Every structure is written in C-alpha cells, then in structure tokens.
Amino acid sequence: MNRMMRHYLFWPLCVLGALLLFNLLYSPDFFSIVLRDGHLYGSLIDILNFGAPLVLVAIGMTLVIATKGIDLSVGSIVAISGAIACLSISKGSDQSSLGLVMTAILSSLALSLVLGLWNGFLVAGAGIQPIIATLILMVAGRGIAQLVTSGQIITVDSSTYEYIGAGSLATLPFSIFIVAAMLIVALLLTRKTALGLFIESVGSNPTASRLAGIRSNMVIMSVYIFCGLCAGIAGLLLSSNVSSADGNNAGLWYELDAILAVVIGGTSLNGGRFYLMGTVIGALIIQTLTTTIYMIGVPPEITLVVKSVVVLAVCLIQSETFRSTIMTRWKTRNYPGEKEVVRHVP
C-alpha cells in the first residue's frame, strides 16, 4: 500500500478518479458511450478528443521542463501552424485533394520545426533564459499568425483535412491515434534509448553533463524542436477539428494549461526528472475539470479560478519548505512542550 502511494502516478490518478466519480454521481449517463453510424459518442470520448491537442503540447512541454527550461511560445506555434495549413488549403482549387492537404500539413510541420529550432538556438546557442527566449516568439508569434490569416478567420472546406481532427478510425476519433503515436514515440525515445537519461542529466546540471561528455546544447536544442513539432501537430488538430484557423484565439493560454498539466503530473519545474505518463494524466485532469464545470452548469469562466487554485495547491505541495512548515506546525500542536522557548532576559 505504501509503495503504491509513493508511485508518482498515485495522486494524479486519485484526482482524476475523484473527478470521474463526482461526474458519475452528478449525472449517471456521464459514462454511457453509444455507437452511432460506426462512431462512438459519449462524454469520455469527448474528453479524449478535445483534450488531444493539450496532451500533445504537454508532452513536448514535459521534455522542455525536464531540461529546466520552459516554452511559452507553444500557444503561438499552435496558431501559426493551423493558420499556415488552412491558408495553403484555402488557396487550392480542389480543397479535398490528398496531395494539397499533404503539402499543407508538411509545410506547417516544417515551419513548426523551424520555430522550435529558433527557440532552441536562443536557449542553447545564445544562452538566453528560457522564459525570455520563448517570450519573444510568444509575442511575435501571434503577430505572425494574424499576419498569415490577415486578421480574419480562414475557413476551409476540405473533407480530407477535416479527417485529422474530426474523423474517426475504428470507431474512435482519429486525433486519439495521432496523440497515442506521438506519446509512444516520446516514451520509446526517452525510456528505451539513452536520450531520456541525457535530458534528465542536462536538467540537473548542464555544465556537469557537458563535462561528462554529453552534448548539452544538442540535447536542449532537440527538446525545443520536439516541443515545437508537438505544438505544430496540436495546431493542425485544433484547426482541422473546426475547419478554420483563427490567428488571434487559436491556442490562447495553451502554454499555461500545458505547464499546469506537466506540474500536476509530478514533473518538477526545477528540471532533472520527468514523467510523461503523469503529464498525460495531468492534461486529462484539466480537460475533465473543464468538461465537469461545463456540465454542472457553472459559468465556464470560473474554470480559471479553479485552475489557479489547483496550480497553487500543487506547487505548495511540491514545495519542500511548505511541507516542513506544515509538519512542524502539526507536531508542535500535538506536543505543546516543544513550543516553549526559554526566553533570555537580560
């Protein structure tokens, strides 16, 4: 039992379980999944489908945070990637043609790789603090996305493109498979090769790892590129789900949600240790929370207050000082004798 409680997934899973249980008690048909025209429908499927972009972004963010960095530009990359894809599709004569959609997807993915490379270059090459280096793209990126879309919402009418975010494979939404594929790639790369170890080593001490023979800069560079790619795919999912690109609002505040998911999943912001599965659970918790708040009829805007309280609570629990303060309080309350201080009277 004790070993189970120590497991890093224990608390995140408890929270997720509690949320689901609450939903079950509140509305019993929460868990009902129906099969209609070969597609599965239900709240649980919705959570997976709508949470897919967040899970993707959060996976990339986990690796960045593991190197003691942070990527604030993911929301902007989401917007840019969706905008580029929709723009190139909307220019084609036959919007559903496979070739056109593939070109659009590949060009926006290539661009997100470049944007990730830019972040990585600033952090590893120029040695700028990650918060600030990615802040540049966060500010300028939204401008670029709005420039691409000319400030309007570009709508596309392409059944092929729509399949990515809204289509379904084997009765499940296709987006789930994309996320699963990326997750498996990330898990294999970090847990079956030495890369994961390198990332953790760089996160704890970049200089020491460089002296030990790890090319720290390359590792840092590659996690930012990976994070950019994840955000790019998330942008495709989001824009294809609604068949439109909105440079202003797509991916707004995604960076905050992604960081929150990573922190809930047990990854410390101090770097050096990361849990990809924890992040996935964290992202699902956020999505379930949002869905729950919608369902119980509370205005969706309250989500922000709830999220902020969750962030603070999780951070406080992670804080060594906070825990020791609470423990001392609790102990001195139970043993009042320890409270007595011998006063030195001059």
Contact positions toward other proteins, by CB under 8 A? Answer: 70, 122, 126-129, 131-133, 135-144, 146-147, 150-151, 247, 256, 259, 263, 269, 299, 301-309, 311-312, 315-316, 318-322, 325
Residue closer to other proteins (CB basis): 169 or 302 = 302
Closer Cβ to other proteins, 130 or 196, answer by number: 130
Three-state DSSP state, 308: helix
In the complex with other proteins, the residue whose CB is nearer, 110 or 304, is 304
- Write down the least CB distance from residue 295 to other proteins, Å: 18
Range list of H helices, the chain: 2-6, 10-26, 43-66, 74-91, 98-120, 130-148, 159-166, 174-191, 195-204, 206-211, 216-242, 254-264, 276-295, 302-318, 320-334
Q: Using the minimum distance from each CB to other proteins, give the nearer residue, 185 or 315.
A: 315
Cα-Cα-Cα-Cα dihedral of 88, 90, 94, 100, to 10°?
Answer: 20
Nearest approach, Cβ of 185 to other proteins (angstroms)? 28
Closest CB to other proteins among residues 4, 305: 305
17/143 with CB nearer other proteins: 143
Distance CA 97, CA 132 (A): 41
Residue 77 contacts residue 137 (beta carbons within 8 Å): yes
* Cα-Cα end-to-end distance for the chain: 54
Task: Tell me how crowded residue 60 is: count the other CB atoms within 10 A of its CB.
Answer: 30
Q: Which amino acid is at 101?
A: V
* Planar angle of CA 239, 44, 165, nearest 5 degrees: 20
In the complex, least distance from residue 73 CB atom to other proteins, rounded to whole angstroms: 10
CB of 289 to other proteins, least distance (A): 13
DSSP state, residue 341: -
Kindly state the smallest distance separating residue 290's Cβ from other proteins, in Å.
Answer: 13
Give min distance, CB of 133 to other proteins, in A: 8
Which of 129, 159 has the CB closer to other proteins? 129
Measured from the CB atom, is 65 or 280 closer to other proteins? 65
Q: Min. distance of Cβ 345 from other proteins in angstroms?
A: 25
Cα(190)–Cα(206) distance, rounded to whole angstroms? 18
Phi, psi of 170 (to 5 degrees): 50, 50
Distance (Å, rounded) from C-alpha 99 to C-alpha 160? 10
Q: Which helix (H) or strand (E) covers residue 40, if one does? A: strand 39-41
Minimum CB–partner distance for residue 178 and other proteins (Å): 28
Spatial distance between the Cα atoms of 173 and 45, rounded to a whole number of angstroms? 8
